[in-house]
A and B are shown apart, each in its own frame.
Chain A
């Protein structure tokens, strides 16, 4: 293919900026501090604490995907987002079904 672009054109395909890295860093830092602080101080407890930590973890994952890995920022058609979505589907299928089967098996054997 003779339409291979040069380095300067390639660089335009990279979407990261100083701003996105600093935003992602500060958000990740605050979310991490919040999770650890909640577990150390035990302001809340029980299942509510577990759900809150998991929620904070998921939010941080979303923040890092968006600001560090630039998911959803690529040019159309968004192949990377599509592949990510399919991976998430397979992941949830494996996770939910495995946990379901193993719990069921455990209950029956006890």
Chain B
């Protein structure tokens, strides 16, 4: 084709291709795109938090948060998720040095802490249901189960993703693709820990006051 028919839609920020442009490669495009997804997810959690704040006192004659919540379990959950988040960070640091066994080791540690978190949350939900305090009881309990359950569902999906990452790192080692996926998985996992700060602060700590 004649060169004059080719329309260039993009303006090259760095026409000199020998200089690497930090914002054009697939890695940065992927992490930025994933970051945007996390920000929209943040808005979902924000709306659930607002729903909880509005419905917090609408107990319909049932138990209030002060009667239901205690702090031991949330504290253990907080520690488990924080340790899991940091272990995941250590796995990514190990991937910078191409240490395959170390990555898988730290991912296993992160997985066990994450699984402990989900286990404790299920234990708590089961306890509430056994006592008859299900989400059908009141608007307060509906909003509580929706908010904390959505977070728990995110963590459970994260655990599944972590298993897939372990398998990929085990099979392929650290490549362009597994490294990129590890980094975005790390963003996801740290983000869930960030959301949990607001859950333990607004739901549990303020709930027992």
Contacts and interface: CB of A to CB of B under 8 A. Distances in A.
Interface in B174-194: 174-176, 179-180, 183, 186-187, 190-191, 193-194
Contacts of B75: 32, 36
A13 interface: yes
Contact of A61 (B31, B86, B174, B197): B197
Interface in B159-209: 174-176, 179-180, 183, 186-187, 190-191, 193-194, 197-198, 200-202, 205-206, 208-209
A11 interface: yes
Interface string A56-74: 1100110011001100000
A36 B73 CA distance: 12
B145 interface: no
B198 A61 contact: yes
Interface residues on B, range: 35 or more
Interface stretch (B45-53, B116-124, B134-142): B45-53
Contact of B93 (A16, A75, A86): A16
A109 interface: no
B179 A11 contact: yes
B129 interface: no
Given A36-B71, A39-B209, A57-B197, A14 B190 contact: no
Interface stretch (B1-9, B21-29, B107-115, B150-158): B21-29
19 contacts: A3-B21, A4-B26, A16-B186, A32-B200, A35-B205, A49-B209, A53-B205, A64-B193, A64-B194, A68-B85, A68-B190, A68-B193, A68-B194, A75-B23, A79-B23, A79-B32, A87-B40, A90-B43, A95-B49
